[in-house]
Structure 1
């Protein structure tokens, strides 16, 4: 028979043969169950290590009821915020010996967003779930029926632990900064085209924008509110559309833009350069997140500790997983902070 070139699979039988015990003893020893002497347990561990044997998580789950895996519900994986939260959570989860399984929501799931979570299958595959910006449009029963711990990031559900920033405060802080340096005609580029799924981040940031304007008795101009979502190219398209609506005349343009995210702000800056609009002399731009690349644009932003949110949420979830008695839900609110760089400045001087 030709050699396939593949290493032979090492199983519990091979470990038992090397250790000189039964497969049942190997199983008990590796799972830490009683009825195995210290010496035998050490012999089995050495045999398993020398053979490179790794216990099957699915097999362990059958006997212990634990999968040693955490599920992550995420609406978008390509967006920086979600990938950064997952990165932070994975640091904690991996250090604790858990695997991470990713499940799509929202736009990733298409029209089946409301039923994407198969709770019967999910609770047998993972010990707990991190829900990133869980949409209000998701069937509540599917979450309540999980029967495993759930911790959210970026959104809050009644009776569920979570980690988040106040997105109304984020929008308010961004707009207040622009008004503090003299701007009064401020655009908000950030309405969410996927609001059918019930994601609240963009809407909450717009609410903060409106609140700040109204406090200063500045009327909200619907013509200065654009639909972008959170993508870079959407920011570019939104500014081009605004420019066309203003008759391609700088004098009719707003003097500042509050972009719903740093990625949208980057798109706005790119489009401004194409239109020979100077940043910030002609147009100030502020974003949200403190994206890893925001410093390259010298972008003023409302920063939030994204990876830290993932780490804290993962620690909270593992605490819930390892606690036999249900614990009271806990909500951790992270503080956003203004980071002033070079993309915001006083409004342009009108051309006389």
Structure 2
């Protein structure tokens, strides 16, 4: 492995500049920083994490608070954040709070204290006491999935996206529309399910269409849950002509159930999802696409900017959604 002196000579800078560039400290132009990084990679040189921490007071670690890791959405957001942070020399420390006990223990013990340089929260509507506990850490904070005071916030318009989906079904002539929702436990307090449910009810009311409560079923944001929910809907004495599934994974499960019942899509049942899963295109699924990977990447960039510039100023970024219409709601049958 090369030494810092060898990197400095190859890059045409001082050893102090190499140190500042690789530690993301100020006083180095972006052009020089990139040149130093390139030379360091070519020479297989890396700074000592422990030495860097002692010199800068930083751990080079970012804590990430997430309710799930097995769901597609959270995996994609994490991938986007990890890609940006890794390229800047940071590691992720993952904290999963998918149940009430785990969440309460995290905020009681706060294991990230003095262990990370920043904290990123993924789609958890924090209670004020929880948000205050994180603010007490005195490190940059990021939030994906809504807006929080004192946090760099990245989100989409879940309500607007839900309206796009349901209006699309209504404009196709449907009036008997079911909803497969996430059904997240109250302990997780996820913002997206609430916003999309509200959009469903408001769009139906906008068109003067009543909501049949027996057609509102929990799908647990999973393929298997979506399949079970669709089966419950089909067991009702009346059958809808369309379904809004609040995630693509639940929509995939619903499509499985419709196939089991030999129902044709979209002739006998239309279905629209939400997320923009990579399997949606090959499944012919109409869906509201959100830039999931970019949500994580954007949140990571905002944290890095605050770490580099210092100060308490935070930023809000709203990313756009788009309805992509495929054969599950129009055109040829997808099944």
Partner residue, 1:85:
77
Partner residue, 2:68:
76
1:340 deviates by 0.2
1:59 deviates by 4.1
Q: Which moved more, 1:298-307 or 1:186-195?
A: 186-195
Mapped partners of 1:235, 1:187: distance in 2:
12
Q: Which moved more, 1:92-101 or 1:188-197?
A: 188-197
1:311 deviates by 1.4
Mapped partners of 1:345, 1:162: distance in 2:
36
Mapped partners of 1:336, 1:53: distance in 2:
42
Mapped partners of 1:90, 1:176: distance in 2:
36
Matched residue SS, 1:66? coil
Corresponding residue to 1:169 among 132, 135, 160: 160
Question: Where does the alignment leave 5 or more consecutive residues of structure 2 unmatched?
Answer: 5-14, 24-39
Q: Per-residue CA shift, 1:112-150, capped at 9, x if unaligned?
A: 313414675414222112111023357233222221101
Q: Please say if residues 184 and 190 of structure 2, whose CA atoms lie closer than 8 Å, have aligned partners that are also in contact.
A: no
Q: Per-residue CA shift, 1:159-206, capped at 9, x if unaligned?
A: 322110111111111100000110111111114242332112111100
Matched residue SS, 2:235? helix
Partner residue, 2:240:
254
Partner residue, 1:342:
327
Mapped partners of 2:110, 2:199: distance in 1:
39
Matched, 1:197 2:188: yes
Q: Please say if residues 194 and 229 of structure 1, whose CA atoms lie closer than 8 Å, have aligned partners that are also in contact.
A: no
Give TM-score scaled by structure 2 length: 0.82
Cα distance change on mapping 1:117 and 1:323 into 2, 3 Å: farther
Question: Where does the alignment leave 5 or more consecutive residues of structure 1 unmatched?
Answer: 1-9, 17-26, 34-47, 247-251
Matched residue SS, 1:126? coil
Which protein shows a greater Rg? Answer: 1
Mapped partners of 1:171, 1:147: distance in 2:
36
Aligned alpha-carbon RMSD (Å):
2.8
Cα distance change on mapping 1:53 and 1:216 into 2, 3 Å: closer
Give TM-score scaled by structure 1 length: 0.79
1:50 deviates by 12
Corresponding residue to 2:90 among 88, 93, 98: 98
Matched, 1:312 2:277: no
Mapped partners of 2:42, 2:258: distance in 1:
62
1:78 deviates by 0.9
Q: Please say if residues 124 and 191 of structure 2, whose CA atoms lie closer than 8 Å, have aligned partners that are also in contact.
A: no
Mapped partners of 1:29, 1:282: distance in 2:
67
Q: Per-residue CA shift, 1:238-279, capped at 9, x if unaligned?
A: 011112223xxxxx2100000010000000000110111111
